[in-house]
Structure 1
């Protein structure tokens, strides 16, 4: 009986020693591997978080750029619409001056068709002096939406009309034959200058005349 207990004790001691050896050799490597795995997971989580942060940052920047482009596009479209409105208003004035010039030309030139004398859409009392001021006014009112070249075209027309207003003033004061001889050429010149101005204005806005 004593021998059996002794053997059991010896076996227990041997088993304990084996377990101790296994623990010393296996547990440190196991714990170390676990620590590595844990560290790897933490690293992956950190990298993933950084990547997502970059993606979100880029997405915000892209949306910001899109919003800015949308605003610029809307402003550009609004400006173009205003420019076209300005062109329409200015062109209405130029058409009126053109009709006036043709009507006056018909009065002094036997070569022009009598129909021009019957143009009745013009306001009474208007002349080149009035239209000289009207051109300056329309340029000032719509100047914000006109290019420098467009403004120059209007200024050149205003200067030409201003010179012709002197001719009309002379006509109203018992003109001599030299003045009368220059009338037809004067009104023809006005028509040409108006057409030139309209062409330049439309070219500046990309509109074919």
Structure 2
């Protein structure tokens, strides 16, 4: 293969192996679709929102420093929620046969910037189990945080319900197939470039000069049988 390639050469490479690109892309997209639709288990998500805010009397004004303290406490609360102590209590309440690490991987704590609200999200292949775990975490956390930190600044804004989680959050077969299609095209292009790079056959006149390191003096054109008879 020549050391340098022009844009025209690249287009010729793609044109010559367009069938290979189509086959590989179609195959990868089809396999991804089959796996997404028929093999991967749907995953459901239940979520509940928690407000971190010290209760106040109606005449008491809010303190900016106290609000910042509540926001900073969210990180600590997130660690407590995913701690072995709390996870063990959740497993005992729901009779779950899971390790702490497996249960922790299903739990995600999300907070936004300077908000005093954080969200507990639980993922599971069973929508009812996701709701049960989210509810158990919320109930146990509210009780345990009072004993652990001697505070009463946790309030539940929304509770998880099965109705809110009737549709799985993943897999997304259509999106997976779109991504697989792009991946198939890229893989096909890389493959044909590699095939062209390792192809040492002589295709054009310049390849002769490159391989033999000798100047080309002339070209003998092929003649068809009719011209030969004449």
TM-score by length of 2: 0.25
State the TM-score, normalized to the length of structure 1. Answer: 0.27
Highest relative contact order (Cα 8 Å, sep 6+), 1 or 2? 2
More strand by share: 2
- Structure with bigger helix share is 1
